[in-house]
Chain A
Protein backbone atom coordinates (compact mmCIF):
# COMPACT_ATOMS: atom_id res chain seq x y z
CA UNK A 1 0.00 0.00 0.00
CA UNK A 2 1.52 3.29 -1.07
CA UNK A 3 0.94 6.40 1.00
CA UNK A 4 -0.49 9.24 -1.00
CA UNK A 5 -0.77 12.93 -0.10
CA UNK A 6 -2.72 15.57 -1.97
CA UNK A 7 -1.36 19.03 -1.32
CA UNK A 8 -3.01 22.19 -2.53
CA UNK A 9 -1.39 25.58 -2.88
CA UNK A 10 -2.65 28.43 -5.06
CA UNK A 11 -5.13 26.61 -7.24
CA UNK A 12 -8.81 25.90 -7.81
CA UNK A 13 -9.13 22.21 -6.81
CA UNK A 14 -10.18 21.30 -10.34
CA UNK A 15 -7.21 18.93 -10.61
CA UNK A 16 -8.02 17.44 -7.23
CA UNK A 17 -11.45 16.46 -8.51
CA UNK A 18 -9.75 14.53 -11.29
CA UNK A 19 -7.40 12.83 -8.82
CA UNK A 20 -10.36 11.79 -6.67
CA UNK A 21 -12.10 10.43 -9.71
CA UNK A 22 -9.03 8.29 -10.44
CA UNK A 23 -8.91 7.10 -6.84
CA UNK A 24 -12.38 5.61 -7.21
CA UNK A 25 -11.00 2.85 -9.42
CA UNK A 26 -10.94 -0.41 -7.46
CA UNK A 27 -7.42 -1.46 -8.35
CA UNK A 28 -6.02 1.99 -7.58
CA UNK A 29 -7.88 2.21 -4.28
CA UNK A 30 -6.47 -1.19 -3.37
CA UNK A 31 -2.90 0.00 -3.87
CA UNK A 32 -2.92 3.53 -2.49
CA UNK A 33 -3.98 5.02 0.80
CA UNK A 34 -4.65 8.70 1.28
CA UNK A 35 -2.63 10.02 4.22
CA UNK A 36 -3.13 13.71 3.71
CA UNK A 37 -5.66 15.83 1.95
CA UNK A 38 -7.03 18.98 3.54
CA UNK A 39 -10.38 18.74 1.89
CA UNK A 40 -11.12 15.13 2.80
CA UNK A 41 -8.89 13.73 5.51
CA UNK A 42 -9.06 15.14 9.01
CA UNK A 43 -5.36 15.14 9.73
CA UNK A 44 -3.80 18.50 9.10
CA UNK A 45 -0.30 17.17 9.19
CA UNK A 46 1.40 14.04 8.05
CA UNK A 47 4.77 12.59 8.76
CA UNK A 48 5.67 11.14 5.37
CA UNK A 49 4.26 9.87 2.12
CA UNK A 50 5.50 7.89 -0.84
CA UNK A 51 3.86 10.16 -3.29
CA UNK A 52 2.38 13.66 -3.27
CA UNK A 53 0.31 15.44 -5.86
CA UNK A 54 0.90 19.15 -5.48
CA UNK A 55 -1.75 21.26 -7.14
CA UNK A 56 -1.17 24.92 -7.89
CA UNK A 57 1.60 27.43 -8.22
CA UNK A 58 3.68 29.02 -5.50
CA UNK A 59 2.46 32.52 -4.77
CA UNK A 60 3.63 33.24 -1.23
CA UNK A 61 6.79 32.81 0.76
CA UNK A 62 4.87 30.68 3.22
CA UNK A 63 3.96 28.20 0.49
CA UNK A 64 7.53 28.07 -0.68
CA UNK A 65 8.75 27.15 2.78
CA UNK A 66 6.01 24.57 3.26
CA UNK A 67 6.95 22.94 -0.04
CA UNK A 68 10.62 22.73 0.87
CA UNK A 69 9.61 21.00 4.05
CA UNK A 70 7.28 18.69 2.15
CA UNK A 71 10.08 17.67 -0.18
CA UNK A 72 11.98 16.22 2.77
CA UNK A 73 9.09 13.98 3.74
CA UNK A 74 7.82 12.79 0.37
CA UNK A 75 9.54 10.33 -1.93
CA UNK A 76 8.00 11.45 -5.20
CA UNK A 77 6.38 14.77 -6.08
CA UNK A 78 3.98 15.18 -8.97
CA UNK A 79 3.52 18.76 -10.17
CA UNK A 80 -0.19 18.70 -10.82
CA UNK A 81 -1.84 20.94 -13.36
CA UNK A 82 -0.63 23.75 -15.56
CA UNK A 83 -0.41 26.06 -12.50
CA UNK A 84 2.18 23.80 -10.95
CA UNK A 85 4.06 23.49 -14.23
CA UNK A 86 3.97 26.96 -15.70
CA UNK A 87 2.25 29.28 -13.27
CA UNK A 88 -1.29 28.85 -14.44
CA UNK A 89 -4.00 31.38 -15.05
CA UNK A 90 -3.15 33.32 -11.86
CA UNK A 91 0.11 34.29 -13.56
CA UNK A 92 -1.83 36.82 -15.60
CA UNK A 93 -1.40 39.16 -12.66
CA UNK A 94 2.29 39.35 -13.49
CA UNK A 95 1.36 41.10 -16.70
CA UNK A 96 -0.75 43.74 -15.01
CA UNK A 97 -0.34 46.27 -12.28
CA UNK A 98 -0.36 43.99 -9.27
CA UNK A 99 -1.02 45.49 -5.85
CA UNK A 100 -1.96 42.85 -3.28
CA UNK A 101 -3.50 45.43 -0.91
CA UNK A 102 -5.96 46.66 -3.49
CA UNK A 103 -7.17 43.12 -4.13
CA UNK A 104 -8.34 42.61 -0.59
CA UNK A 105 -5.38 40.41 0.30
CA UNK A 106 -4.34 40.36 3.98
CA UNK A 107 -2.92 43.75 4.80
CA UNK A 108 -1.01 42.49 7.81
CA UNK A 109 1.31 40.53 5.60
CA UNK A 110 4.25 42.24 4.05
CA UNK A 111 3.52 42.55 0.35
CA UNK A 112 6.92 41.00 -0.39
CA UNK A 113 5.49 37.82 1.13
CA UNK A 114 3.13 37.61 -1.81
CA UNK A 115 4.84 37.02 -5.11
CA UNK A 116 4.05 39.23 -8.02
CA UNK A 117 4.91 36.38 -10.37
CA UNK A 118 3.57 32.99 -9.31
CA UNK A 119 6.30 30.37 -9.42
CA UNK A 120 5.98 26.94 -10.96
CA UNK A 121 6.91 24.18 -8.51
CA UNK A 122 10.22 23.33 -10.12
CA UNK A 123 11.53 26.79 -9.27
CA UNK A 124 11.16 25.89 -5.62
CA UNK A 125 11.65 22.14 -5.19
CA UNK A 126 12.74 19.16 -7.23
CA UNK A 127 9.79 17.79 -9.15
CA UNK A 128 9.74 14.12 -10.13
CA UNK A 129 6.88 14.06 -12.58
CA UNK A 130 4.44 16.51 -14.11
CA UNK A 131 0.85 16.26 -15.21
CA UNK A 132 -0.24 19.26 -17.30
CA UNK A 133 -3.81 20.42 -17.76
CA UNK A 134 -6.35 22.85 -16.46
CA UNK A 135 -7.64 20.72 -15.04
CA UNK A 136 -5.58 17.59 -15.50
CA UNK A 137 -7.30 14.57 -16.97
CA UNK A 138 -8.44 11.73 -14.67
CA UNK A 139 -7.32 9.18 -17.26
CA UNK A 140 -3.80 10.56 -17.12
CA UNK A 141 -3.90 10.25 -13.32
CA UNK A 142 -5.08 6.64 -13.55
CA UNK A 143 -2.35 5.79 -16.02
CA UNK A 144 0.23 7.45 -13.86
CA UNK A 145 -0.90 5.77 -10.62
CA UNK A 146 -1.07 2.34 -12.23
CA UNK A 147 2.34 2.66 -13.84
CA UNK A 148 3.89 4.12 -10.72
CA UNK A 149 2.59 1.17 -8.74
CA UNK A 150 4.16 -1.18 -11.30
CA UNK A 151 7.51 0.51 -10.69
CA UNK A 152 7.55 2.72 -13.77
CA UNK A 153 6.17 5.90 -15.28
CA UNK A 154 4.32 6.79 -18.44
CA UNK A 155 6.84 7.24 -21.24
CA UNK A 156 7.22 10.91 -22.03
CA UNK A 157 5.55 11.99 -25.25
CA UNK A 158 5.90 15.66 -26.10
CA UNK A 159 3.26 16.56 -28.61
CA UNK A 160 0.86 19.35 -29.35
CA UNK A 161 -2.92 19.42 -29.25
CA UNK A 162 -2.75 19.18 -33.06
CA UNK A 163 -1.50 15.62 -32.79
CA UNK A 164 -4.65 14.60 -30.94
CA UNK A 165 -6.85 16.75 -33.15
CA UNK A 166 -5.47 15.20 -36.33
CA UNK A 167 -5.56 11.66 -34.97
CA UNK A 168 -9.24 12.24 -34.21
CA UNK A 169 -9.64 13.37 -37.81
CA UNK A 170 -11.05 16.76 -36.82
CA UNK A 171 -10.94 19.53 -39.39
CA UNK A 172 -8.45 22.17 -38.23
CA UNK A 173 -10.40 25.21 -37.01
CA UNK A 174 -7.49 27.52 -37.76
CA UNK A 175 -6.99 26.38 -41.33
CA UNK A 176 -10.65 25.82 -42.28
CA UNK A 177 -12.30 28.64 -40.38
CA UNK A 178 -9.54 31.08 -39.57
CA UNK A 179 -10.24 30.75 -35.84
CA UNK A 180 -7.23 31.63 -33.66
CA UNK A 181 -6.20 28.35 -32.04
CA UNK A 182 -3.30 27.68 -29.71
CA UNK A 183 -3.31 23.96 -30.48
CA UNK A 184 -0.07 24.08 -32.48
CA UNK A 185 1.92 25.33 -29.48
CA UNK A 186 0.02 23.68 -26.64
CA UNK A 187 0.86 20.42 -24.88
CA UNK A 188 -1.36 17.49 -25.74
CA UNK A 189 -3.37 15.54 -23.21
CA UNK A 190 -6.87 17.01 -23.44
CA UNK A 191 -7.85 15.00 -26.51
CA UNK A 192 -8.43 18.22 -28.49
CA UNK A 193 -11.68 19.03 -26.69
CA UNK A 194 -12.08 22.61 -27.87
CA UNK A 195 -11.45 21.98 -31.58
CA UNK A 196 -13.90 19.08 -31.38
CA UNK A 197 -16.55 21.68 -30.60
CA UNK A 198 -15.37 23.88 -33.41
CA UNK A 199 -13.56 26.45 -31.31
CA UNK A 200 -9.91 27.31 -30.91
CA UNK A 201 -7.66 25.87 -28.21
CA UNK A 202 -6.85 28.43 -25.55
CA UNK A 203 -3.77 26.69 -24.27
CA UNK A 204 -4.89 25.34 -20.91
CA UNK A 205 -2.39 22.46 -21.01
CA UNK A 206 0.43 24.95 -21.26
CA UNK A 207 3.02 25.86 -23.83
CA UNK A 208 4.69 22.94 -25.63
CA UNK A 209 7.99 24.74 -25.22
CA UNK A 210 10.45 22.08 -26.45
CA UNK A 211 11.94 23.23 -29.71
CA UNK A 212 10.33 26.64 -29.45
CA UNK A 213 12.14 29.92 -29.05
CA UNK A 214 11.01 33.51 -28.96
CA UNK A 215 11.18 33.88 -32.73
CA UNK A 216 9.02 30.85 -33.34
CA UNK A 217 6.40 31.94 -30.82
CA UNK A 218 6.33 35.35 -32.46
CA UNK A 219 5.98 33.85 -35.91
CA UNK A 220 2.98 31.93 -34.64
CA UNK A 221 1.65 35.06 -32.97
CA UNK A 222 2.03 36.84 -36.27
CA UNK A 223 -0.20 34.22 -37.81
CA UNK A 224 -2.82 34.77 -35.10
CA UNK A 225 -2.61 38.47 -35.80
CA UNK A 226 -3.28 37.80 -39.47
CA UNK A 227 -6.40 35.98 -38.36
CA UNK A 228 -7.52 39.17 -36.69
CA UNK A 229 -6.42 38.75 -33.11
CA UNK A 230 -5.18 42.04 -31.61
CA UNK A 231 -1.63 42.16 -30.31
CA UNK A 232 -2.50 42.38 -26.63
CA UNK A 233 -4.93 39.50 -26.93
CA UNK A 234 -2.45 37.09 -28.40
CA UNK A 235 0.04 37.90 -25.66
CA UNK A 236 -2.60 37.35 -23.03
CA UNK A 237 -3.77 34.21 -24.79
CA UNK A 238 -0.36 32.61 -25.10
CA UNK A 239 0.79 33.55 -21.64
CA UNK A 240 -2.51 33.00 -19.83
CA UNK A 241 -1.66 29.55 -18.57
CA UNK A 242 2.05 29.36 -19.29
CA UNK A 243 3.39 32.68 -18.14
CA UNK A 244 6.59 31.18 -16.70
CA UNK A 245 7.50 29.47 -19.97
CA UNK A 246 6.34 32.39 -22.04
CA UNK A 247 8.61 34.68 -20.06
CA UNK A 248 11.53 32.25 -20.50
CA UNK A 249 11.08 32.40 -24.25
CA UNK A 250 10.17 36.04 -24.76
CA UNK A 251 11.26 37.87 -21.66
CA UNK A 252 8.85 39.78 -19.41
CA UNK A 253 6.13 41.26 -21.53
CA UNK A 254 4.45 44.22 -20.00
Chain B
Protein backbone atom coordinates (compact mmCIF):
# COMPACT_ATOMS: atom_id res chain seq x y z
CA UNK B 1 0.00 0.00 0.00
CA UNK B 2 2.85 2.27 0.90
CA UNK B 3 4.57 1.43 -2.37
CA UNK B 4 1.40 2.17 -4.28
CA UNK B 5 1.17 5.59 -2.73
CA UNK B 6 4.86 6.29 -3.40
CA UNK B 7 4.61 5.32 -7.04
CA UNK B 8 1.66 7.64 -7.55
CA UNK B 9 3.58 10.38 -5.80
CA UNK B 10 6.56 9.89 -8.07
CA UNK B 11 4.60 9.60 -11.27
CA UNK B 12 2.17 12.47 -10.73
CA UNK B 13 4.50 15.04 -9.23
CA UNK B 14 3.65 15.01 -5.54
CA UNK B 15 -0.13 15.29 -5.54
CA UNK B 16 -2.26 15.50 -2.41
CA UNK B 17 -3.81 12.17 -1.35
CA UNK B 18 -7.46 12.19 -0.38
CA UNK B 19 -9.18 9.30 1.28
CA UNK B 20 -10.82 7.97 4.42
CA UNK B 21 -8.63 9.05 7.27
CA UNK B 22 -8.55 7.56 10.76
CA UNK B 23 -9.23 10.09 13.45
CA UNK B 24 -10.10 10.12 17.11
CA UNK B 25 -13.62 8.91 16.36
CA UNK B 26 -14.55 7.47 12.99
CA UNK B 27 -12.77 7.89 9.66
CA UNK B 28 -13.74 10.88 7.55
CA UNK B 29 -12.83 11.83 4.00
CA UNK B 30 -9.80 14.07 4.24
CA UNK B 31 -6.21 14.59 3.23
CA UNK B 32 -4.01 11.56 3.89
CA UNK B 33 -0.47 12.44 4.90
CA UNK B 34 0.84 9.00 5.72
CA UNK B 35 -0.13 5.42 5.19
CA UNK B 36 -0.74 5.00 8.92
CA UNK B 37 -3.73 7.30 8.61
CA UNK B 38 -5.57 4.86 6.36
CA UNK B 39 -8.27 2.79 8.07
CA UNK B 40 -6.60 -0.52 7.25
CA UNK B 41 -7.01 -2.20 10.62
CA UNK B 42 -10.62 -1.52 11.39
CA UNK B 43 -14.04 -2.63 10.18
CA UNK B 44 -17.32 -0.83 10.32
CA UNK B 45 -20.51 -2.48 11.47
CA UNK B 46 -23.51 -0.85 9.84
CA UNK B 47 -27.19 -1.40 10.50
CA UNK B 48 -30.22 0.85 10.09
CA UNK B 49 -29.56 3.74 12.48
CA UNK B 50 -26.39 2.17 13.85
CA UNK B 51 -22.69 2.51 13.08
CA UNK B 52 -19.76 1.06 14.95
CA UNK B 53 -16.03 0.71 14.43
CA UNK B 54 -14.48 -2.60 15.46
CA UNK B 55 -11.16 -4.29 14.85
CA UNK B 56 -10.84 -5.87 11.45
CA UNK B 57 -9.84 -4.99 7.92
CA UNK B 58 -13.14 -4.25 6.20
CA UNK B 59 -13.67 -0.53 6.40
CA UNK B 60 -16.31 0.51 3.83
CA UNK B 61 -17.16 4.13 4.53
CA UNK B 62 -18.55 6.53 7.11
CA UNK B 63 -21.07 9.40 6.98
CA UNK B 64 -18.33 11.18 5.07
CA UNK B 65 -17.62 10.75 1.35
CA UNK B 66 -15.65 12.40 -1.47
CA UNK B 67 -18.54 14.88 -1.67
CA UNK B 68 -17.06 16.54 1.44
CA UNK B 69 -14.06 17.49 -0.68
CA UNK B 70 -15.59 18.04 -4.11
CA UNK B 71 -18.71 19.88 -3.01
CA UNK B 72 -17.91 21.06 0.53
CA UNK B 73 -20.70 21.70 3.05
CA UNK B 74 -20.04 25.43 2.79
CA UNK B 75 -18.55 27.18 -0.20
CA UNK B 76 -17.97 30.92 -0.30
CA UNK B 77 -18.94 31.78 -3.86
CA UNK B 78 -18.57 35.55 -3.70
CA UNK B 79 -17.41 38.28 -1.35
CA UNK B 80 -18.85 41.65 -2.16
CA UNK B 81 -18.64 45.25 -0.97
CA UNK B 82 -21.60 47.52 -0.15
CA UNK B 83 -20.98 49.27 -3.49
CA UNK B 84 -21.37 45.93 -5.29
CA UNK B 85 -17.72 45.39 -6.13
CA UNK B 86 -16.60 41.78 -6.06
CA UNK B 87 -13.85 41.54 -3.45
CA UNK B 88 -13.23 37.86 -4.04
CA UNK B 89 -14.76 35.65 -6.66
CA UNK B 90 -14.49 32.73 -4.26
CA UNK B 91 -13.29 30.27 -6.85
CA UNK B 92 -9.71 29.04 -6.79
CA UNK B 93 -7.90 26.37 -8.71
CA UNK B 94 -8.33 22.83 -7.39
CA UNK B 95 -5.34 21.07 -5.86
CA UNK B 96 -3.75 18.22 -7.80
CA UNK B 97 -5.06 15.24 -5.92
CA UNK B 98 -5.26 11.46 -5.97
CA UNK B 99 -8.33 9.79 -4.55
CA UNK B 100 -6.90 6.94 -2.54
CA UNK B 101 -8.86 3.91 -1.40
CA UNK B 102 -12.28 5.22 -2.40
CA UNK B 103 -15.01 2.62 -2.88
CA UNK B 104 -16.78 1.69 -6.10
CA UNK B 105 -19.94 3.41 -4.83
CA UNK B 106 -17.95 6.61 -4.21
CA UNK B 107 -16.58 6.48 -7.73
CA UNK B 108 -20.06 6.05 -9.16
CA UNK B 109 -21.29 8.94 -7.07
CA UNK B 110 -18.61 11.16 -8.57
CA UNK B 111 -19.70 10.08 -12.04
CA UNK B 112 -23.24 11.14 -11.11
CA UNK B 113 -22.13 14.49 -9.70
CA UNK B 114 -20.02 15.07 -12.82
CA UNK B 115 -23.14 14.86 -14.98
CA UNK B 116 -24.93 17.44 -12.88
CA UNK B 117 -22.15 19.82 -11.82
CA UNK B 118 -19.02 19.49 -13.94
CA UNK B 119 -18.30 22.67 -15.92
CA UNK B 120 -21.39 24.25 -14.37
CA UNK B 121 -20.59 24.54 -10.68
CA UNK B 122 -17.32 26.48 -10.26
CA UNK B 123 -16.24 25.03 -6.90
CA UNK B 124 -16.97 21.45 -7.91
CA UNK B 125 -15.39 21.92 -11.33
CA UNK B 126 -12.16 23.35 -9.92
CA UNK B 127 -11.73 20.56 -7.40
CA UNK B 128 -12.82 17.84 -9.76
CA UNK B 129 -10.43 18.96 -12.48
CA UNK B 130 -7.64 18.72 -9.95
CA UNK B 131 -8.17 14.97 -9.48
CA UNK B 132 -5.29 13.37 -11.36
CA UNK B 133 -5.41 9.83 -10.03
CA UNK B 134 -7.97 7.37 -8.67
CA UNK B 135 -7.22 4.33 -6.54
CA UNK B 136 -10.24 2.22 -5.68
CA UNK B 137 -10.67 -0.36 -2.98
CA UNK B 138 -13.11 -2.97 -4.18
CA UNK B 139 -15.49 -4.38 -1.60
CA UNK B 140 -15.02 -8.05 -0.94
CA UNK B 141 -17.44 -8.04 1.98
CA UNK B 142 -20.18 -5.42 1.70
CA UNK B 143 -21.43 -3.66 4.80
CA UNK B 144 -24.69 -4.37 6.56
CA UNK B 145 -26.65 -1.69 4.73
CA UNK B 146 -24.84 -1.90 1.38
CA UNK B 147 -26.70 -2.76 -1.81
CA UNK B 148 -24.43 -1.45 -4.57
CA UNK B 149 -24.78 -4.60 -6.66
CA UNK B 150 -28.53 -4.01 -6.89
CA UNK B 151 -28.00 -0.59 -8.44
CA UNK B 152 -25.01 -1.51 -10.62
CA UNK B 153 -22.36 0.49 -8.81
CA UNK B 154 -20.24 -2.19 -7.18
CA UNK B 155 -18.75 -4.12 -5.50
CA UNK B 156 -16.00 -4.01 -8.13
CA UNK B 157 -15.03 -1.42 -10.73
CA UNK B 158 -14.49 -1.75 -14.44
CA UNK B 159 -13.60 1.76 -15.53
CA UNK B 160 -12.88 5.27 -14.35
CA UNK B 161 -9.87 4.43 -12.16
CA UNK B 162 -6.11 4.04 -12.38
CA UNK B 163 -5.56 1.24 -9.93
CA UNK B 164 -8.07 -0.90 -8.09
CA UNK B 165 -7.21 -3.27 -5.32
CA UNK B 166 -9.07 -5.96 -3.45
CA UNK B 167 -8.14 -7.18 0.01
CA UNK B 168 -8.54 -10.93 -0.21
CA UNK B 169 -7.55 -11.19 3.42
CA UNK B 170 -5.80 -8.94 5.87
CA UNK B 171 -2.41 -9.35 4.17
CA UNK B 172 -3.17 -10.20 0.56
CA UNK B 173 -3.78 -7.46 -1.93
CA UNK B 174 -4.89 -8.15 -5.48
CA UNK B 175 -4.32 -5.18 -7.77
CA UNK B 176 -5.55 -4.35 -11.23
CA UNK B 177 -4.78 -1.42 -13.51
CA UNK B 178 -7.53 0.65 -15.09
CA UNK B 179 -5.50 3.12 -17.13
CA UNK B 180 -2.09 3.76 -18.60
CA UNK B 181 -1.05 5.52 -15.42
CA UNK B 182 -2.24 2.51 -13.47
CA UNK B 183 -0.30 0.11 -15.65
CA UNK B 184 2.80 2.22 -15.23
CA UNK B 185 2.38 2.33 -11.47
CA UNK B 186 1.92 -1.42 -11.18
CA UNK B 187 4.87 -2.02 -13.45
CA UNK B 188 7.21 0.10 -11.37
CA UNK B 189 6.01 -1.65 -8.25
CA UNK B 190 7.44 -4.85 -9.71
CA UNK B 191 4.48 -7.02 -8.72
CA UNK B 192 4.00 -10.67 -9.55
CA UNK B 193 1.16 -11.76 -11.74
CA UNK B 194 -1.52 -13.26 -9.48
CA UNK B 195 -1.85 -17.04 -9.66
CA UNK B 196 -5.18 -18.59 -10.57
CA UNK B 197 -5.60 -19.61 -6.95
CA UNK B 198 -5.95 -15.94 -6.04
CA UNK B 199 -7.99 -14.89 -9.04
CA UNK B 200 -10.40 -17.74 -8.38
CA UNK B 201 -10.72 -16.71 -4.75
CA UNK B 202 -11.35 -13.13 -5.90
CA UNK B 203 -14.11 -14.27 -8.25
CA UNK B 204 -15.73 -16.32 -5.54
CA UNK B 205 -15.66 -13.46 -3.06
CA UNK B 206 -17.09 -11.05 -5.61
CA UNK B 207 -19.82 -13.54 -6.47
CA UNK B 208 -20.76 -13.95 -2.80
CA UNK B 209 -20.78 -10.19 -2.29
CA UNK B 210 -23.06 -9.66 -5.26
CA UNK B 211 -25.44 -12.43 -4.20
CA UNK B 212 -25.77 -11.09 -0.68
CA UNK B 213 -26.68 -7.62 -1.95
CA UNK B 214 -28.89 -8.67 -4.84
CA UNK B 215 -31.14 -10.41 -2.39
CA UNK B 216 -32.00 -7.04 -0.86
CA UNK B 217 -33.36 -5.54 -4.08
CA UNK B 218 -33.63 -8.23 -6.71
CA UNK B 219 -35.21 -6.28 -9.55
CA UNK B 220 -34.45 -2.58 -9.83
CA UNK B 221 -36.38 -1.98 -13.02
CA UNK B 222 -39.50 -3.44 -11.51
CA UNK B 223 -39.13 -1.11 -8.54
CA UNK B 224 -38.70 1.84 -10.89
CA UNK B 225 -41.86 0.91 -12.80
CA UNK B 226 -43.75 0.62 -9.55
CA UNK B 227 -42.51 4.03 -8.39
CA UNK B 228 -43.62 5.55 -11.66
CA UNK B 229 -47.12 4.24 -11.08
CA UNK B 230 -47.23 5.53 -7.52
CA UNK B 231 -46.09 9.11 -8.09
CA UNK B 232 -49.58 10.52 -7.68
CA UNK B 233 -50.64 8.43 -4.69
CA UNK B 234 -50.67 10.76 -1.71
CA UNK B 235 -51.89 7.95 0.53
CA UNK B 236 -48.94 5.73 -0.34
CA UNK B 237 -46.31 8.40 0.29
CA UNK B 238 -47.91 9.47 3.54
CA UNK B 239 -47.87 5.90 4.72
CA UNK B 240 -44.31 5.14 3.66
CA UNK B 241 -42.95 8.37 5.15
CA UNK B 242 -44.98 8.04 8.33
CA UNK B 243 -41.95 7.75 10.60
CA UNK B 244 -39.74 10.21 8.73
CA UNK B 245 -39.09 13.35 10.77
CA UNK B 246 -37.52 15.42 8.00
CA UNK B 247 -34.17 15.91 9.72
CA UNK B 248 -32.27 15.74 6.43
CA UNK B 249 -29.51 13.36 7.58
CA UNK B 250 -30.05 11.13 4.55
CA UNK B 251 -29.44 14.12 2.28
CA UNK B 252 -26.25 15.22 3.92
CA UNK B 253 -24.68 11.76 3.96
CA UNK B 254 -25.82 10.86 0.46
CA UNK B 255 -22.79 11.01 -1.85
CA UNK B 256 -24.91 12.23 -4.77
CA UNK B 257 -27.18 14.78 -3.04
CA UNK B 258 -26.00 18.12 -4.39
CA UNK B 259 -28.64 20.67 -3.39
CA UNK B 260 -27.35 23.90 -1.93
CA UNK B 261 -28.94 27.00 -0.52
CA UNK B 262 -27.25 30.37 -0.83
CA UNK B 263 -26.82 32.07 2.51
CA UNK B 264 -25.88 35.74 2.73
CA UNK B 265 -23.59 36.64 5.56
CA UNK B 266 -23.13 40.29 6.26
CA UNK B 267 -20.19 41.66 8.18
CA UNK B 268 -19.06 45.13 9.15
CA UNK B 269 -17.96 46.15 5.67
CA UNK B 270 -18.53 43.30 3.28
CA UNK B 271 -20.97 40.52 2.61
CA UNK B 272 -20.42 36.90 1.66
CA UNK B 273 -22.53 34.63 -0.45
CA UNK B 274 -22.16 31.09 0.82
CA UNK B 275 -23.50 28.01 -0.91
CA UNK B 276 -24.52 25.61 1.86
CA UNK B 277 -25.79 22.05 1.66
CA UNK B 278 -29.50 21.82 2.07
CA UNK B 279 -31.63 18.70 2.32
CA UNK B 280 -34.78 18.15 0.29
CA UNK B 281 -36.30 16.47 3.35
CA UNK B 282 -36.11 19.70 5.34
CA UNK B 283 -38.97 22.18 5.42
CA UNK B 284 -37.00 24.83 3.55
CA UNK B 285 -37.02 22.79 0.37
CA UNK B 286 -39.76 24.17 -1.86
CA UNK B 287 -40.43 27.14 0.39
CA UNK B 288 -40.74 30.49 -1.36
CA UNK B 289 -41.69 33.91 -0.07
CA UNK B 290 -45.46 33.78 0.12
CA UNK B 291 -45.90 30.06 -0.53
CA UNK B 292 -44.57 26.52 -0.37
CA UNK B 293 -44.34 24.02 -3.19
CA UNK B 294 -43.69 20.99 -0.96
CA UNK B 295 -45.33 21.92 2.28
CA UNK B 296 -46.04 18.40 3.49
CA UNK B 297 -43.21 16.11 4.49
CA UNK B 298 -44.56 13.26 2.36
CA UNK B 299 -44.04 15.46 -0.71
CA UNK B 300 -40.40 15.97 0.14
CA UNK B 301 -39.91 12.30 0.93
CA UNK B 302 -41.47 11.48 -2.43
CA UNK B 303 -39.17 13.89 -4.22
CA UNK B 304 -36.15 12.34 -2.51
CA UNK B 305 -37.12 8.83 -3.55
CA UNK B 306 -38.30 9.62 -7.06
CA UNK B 307 -35.30 11.83 -7.69
CA UNK B 308 -32.88 9.05 -6.82
CA UNK B 309 -34.60 6.36 -8.86
CA UNK B 310 -36.49 8.13 -11.65
CA UNK B 311 -35.28 11.67 -12.12
CA UNK B 312 -31.49 11.36 -11.87
CA UNK B 313 -31.43 8.95 -14.83
CA UNK B 314 -33.25 11.62 -16.85
CA UNK B 315 -30.87 14.32 -15.65
CA UNK B 316 -27.64 12.37 -16.15
CA UNK B 317 -28.24 10.38 -19.29
CA UNK B 318 -29.05 7.17 -17.49
CA UNK B 319 -27.22 7.15 -14.16
CA UNK B 320 -29.21 6.41 -11.02
CA UNK B 321 -28.98 8.89 -8.18
CA UNK B 322 -28.64 5.99 -5.77
CA UNK B 323 -25.28 4.21 -5.66
CA UNK B 324 -26.32 1.65 -3.06
CA UNK B 325 -23.87 2.77 -0.39
CA UNK B 326 -26.54 2.48 2.29
CA UNK B 327 -25.46 5.63 4.11
CA UNK B 328 -29.04 6.97 4.20
CA UNK B 329 -30.07 3.81 6.02
CA UNK B 330 -27.17 3.71 8.47
CA UNK B 331 -27.27 7.39 9.35
CA UNK B 332 -31.03 7.79 9.63
CA UNK B 333 -31.61 8.47 13.32
CA UNK B 334 -34.88 6.55 13.09
CA UNK B 335 -33.28 3.76 11.10
CA UNK B 336 -35.69 4.04 8.17
CA UNK B 337 -34.66 1.56 5.53
CA UNK B 338 -34.87 2.74 1.94
CA UNK B 339 -34.55 -0.81 0.66
CA UNK B 340 -37.35 -2.01 2.87
CA UNK B 341 -39.45 0.85 1.55
CA UNK B 342 -38.68 -0.11 -2.03
CA UNK B 343 -39.83 -3.65 -1.27
CA UNK B 344 -43.03 -2.14 0.06
CA UNK B 345 -43.39 -0.24 -3.20
CA UNK B 346 -43.43 -3.57 -4.99
CA UNK B 347 -46.01 -5.00 -2.65
CA UNK B 348 -48.37 -2.06 -3.03
CA UNK B 349 -47.94 -1.73 -6.75
CA UNK B 350 -48.08 -5.08 -8.38
CA UNK B 351 -46.04 -4.65 -11.52
CA UNK B 352 -44.97 -7.47 -13.73
CA UNK B 353 -41.41 -8.66 -13.58
Contacts and interface: CB of A to CB of B under 8 A. Distances in A.
Nearest to B47: A175
B35 to A, nearest CB: 22
B268 A219 contact: no
A217 B25 CA distance: 29
A190 interface: no
Interface string A166-210: 111101101110100101110000000000000000000000101
Nearest to B265: A143
Given A167-B73, A219-B242, A220-B245, A159 B284 contact: yes
Given A175-B330, A211-B246, A211-B297, A158 B282 contact: yes
Contacts of A211: 245-246, 283, 296-297, 300
Contacts of A158: 282-284, 287
A181 to B, nearest CB: 7
Interface in B88-118: none
A223 interface: yes
Contact of A175 (B50, B263, B283, B296): B50
B296 A157 contact: no
Contacts of B245: 184-185, 211-212, 216-217, 219-220
Contacts of A184: 245, 247, 249, 333-334
A143 B266 contact: yes
A219 B249 contact: no
A167 B74 contact: yes
A215 interface: yes
A77 interface: no
A215 B242 contact: yes
B39 interface: no
Contact of A212 (B68, B246, B261, B334): B246
A219 B73 CA distance: 29
Contacts of B73: 166-169
A169 B68 contact: yes
B62 A171 contact: yes
Interface in A19-70: 25-27
A176 B26 contact: yes
B83 interface: no
B134 to A, nearest CB: 22
B237 interface: no
A155 B264 contact: yes
Contacts of A169: 28, 63-64, 68, 73
A223 B279 CA distance: 22
Contacts of A216: 242-245, 297
Interface string A154-165: 011111101100
A211 B266 CA distance: 30
A107 interface: no
B169 to A, nearest CB: 27
B283 A210 contact: yes
Contacts of B267: 146
Given A150-B266, A211-B297, A162 B26 contact: no
B125 interface: no
Given A150-B266, A174-B333, 9 more contacts: A157-B284, A159-B283, A166-B252, A169-B63, A171-B28, A171-B63, A176-B51, A210-B283, A211-B245
8 contacts: A155-B263, A157-B261, A163-B277, A166-B248, A168-B73, A215-B242, A215-B243, A223-B334
